[in-house]
A and B are shown apart, each in its own frame.
Chain A
């Protein structure tokens, strides 16, 4: 974690740079899809953001489990920071999904398995952050948030399975471009560039948020010590 915090500028600038390259590749260089035409370009935003969202929530679980094991608050800071950025990424995934859904199916929302699962994840981690806000005792907060963080992550595969079964019985349409094994080389390159870009930016943001969390904790400790003296 120190590693991420110290290399902030490298991560940030390289991430931003790659994002610009990726944007060009995605919008201009890569070819339109055979069936979806230019709509497929949303994939270059949706997939990287979705993948990074899962990475963030994985980090929430790691932070939660490590905190319960080691009781070092730095793990709690990791969990909380990753959850905040993860929630943002979830919102972006939902928006990208909606933007894709509108021209494809004519509606802003559909109970597509991936969209539905993402919506549920959004509420799970919003609840996680609400708990962190409402529990004022820092040690209890770390402990209780860790429970919710672990349970939430364990639930992800179960939710995905159940929603897919729920939808498949109604023969709903799904995000087909992602399941295409004969994906064009240029699309693959574009996808990976954007994937790298978003991941780097995520790590950059995570580093900044971790620094902030450290400073918040120092401030709280100082305030507490002051209060003891009076």
Chain B
């Protein structure tokens, strides 16, 4: 019985999620990491409430970015440790399906972290989360997708290299600069209830997501080191 592309994606995603759910190491660790990042930034910027509130969107995304970097490394760690990259092919013949499964898995981790860190930050910095909640959720979702699209690709690329921890951020961050700019801007507008050029930033995120998920689907088969 041959499986459809969607079934293959689901197979990859389910495997990763199940393993995570049973061990829960990665999610816990990454969650605490995001919290520590946020606290450290607060110490670095000082206790001035207004300064923190105006920088809140940027700080949030910095925390998400750092957590994401951890996640993109981890989603391939199992495969690397057990030389299991070929095993993935048993689950999903289409490498593009493997890619999609990994993207969704990375997104699941990042979104779970965002769901916890956002309320926490809202309390710490007295943010008005309800000012434009739909836009807030949209920005978080689209921004996370953009990151995960490149992260899942470059994560596979750097997984087999010893210098992975340095190379992954070095490759990922400049390429995702548009996502960072747009997501921070859109999130900031959502938190302050502003509406200036909202459509523009959301459009930019959408374009980035579409272009780079497509690029990932097409080039993933060339990415892994083995």
Contacts and interface: CB of A to CB of B under 8 A. Distances in A.
Interface of A: 68, 120-121, 123-124, 126-128, 130-131, 134-135, 137, 140, 143-144, 146-148, 150-152, 154-155, 158-159, 161-163, 165-166, 169
Nearest to A137: B225
Contacts of B207: 158
Given A127-B170, A147-B219, A165 B204 contact: yes
A127 B225 contact: no
Nearest to B200: A165
Interface of B: 150, 153-154, 157, 161-163, 167, 170-171, 173-175, 177-178, 181-182, 185, 196-197, 200-201, 204, 207-208, 211-212, 215, 219, 222-223, 225-226
B223 A123 contact: no
B215 A134 contact: no
Given A131-B167, A150-B215, A144 B204 contact: no
Please name the 5 residue pairs, one residue from A and one from B, whose CB atoms are nearest each other, closest first.
Answer: A162-B178, A123-B174, A127-B170, A124-B174, A127-B171
Contacts of A154: 211-212, 215
Nearest to A148: B171
Contact of A165 (B153, B157, B173, B197): B197
Contact of A148 (B157, B178, B200, B201): B157
Contacts of A126: 170
A146 B181 contact: no
A135 B161 contact: yes
B180 to A, nearest CB: 9
A153 to B, nearest CB: 11
21 contacts: A123-B174, A124-B175, A127-B167, A130-B167, A131-B157, A143-B222, A144-B222, A144-B223, A148-B154, A151-B175, A151-B215, A154-B215, A155-B212, A158-B204, A158-B207, A162-B178, A163-B177, A163-B178, A165-B200, A165-B201, A166-B181
Given A134-B161, A147-B153, 17 more contacts: A120-B177, A126-B170, A127-B171, A128-B171, A137-B225, A143-B222, A144-B223, A146-B222, A147-B222, A147-B223, A148-B171, A150-B215, A154-B212, A158-B204, A161-B178, A162-B182, A166-B185
Contacts of A152: 175
Nearest to B157: A144
A169 B197 contact: yes
A161 B222 contact: no
B225 A140 contact: yes
Contacts of A165: 181, 197, 200-201, 204
Given A123-B170, A146-B222, A158 B178 contact: yes
B219 A150 contact: yes
Contacts of B225: 135, 137, 140, 144
A147 B157 contact: yes
Contact of A131 (B171, B174, B177): B171
A151 B174 contact: no
A158 B208 contact: yes
A223 B201 CA distance: 53
B57 to A, nearest CB: 13
A166 B201 CA distance: 9
Given A68-B222, A127-B167, A162 B197 contact: no
A118 to B, nearest CB: 11
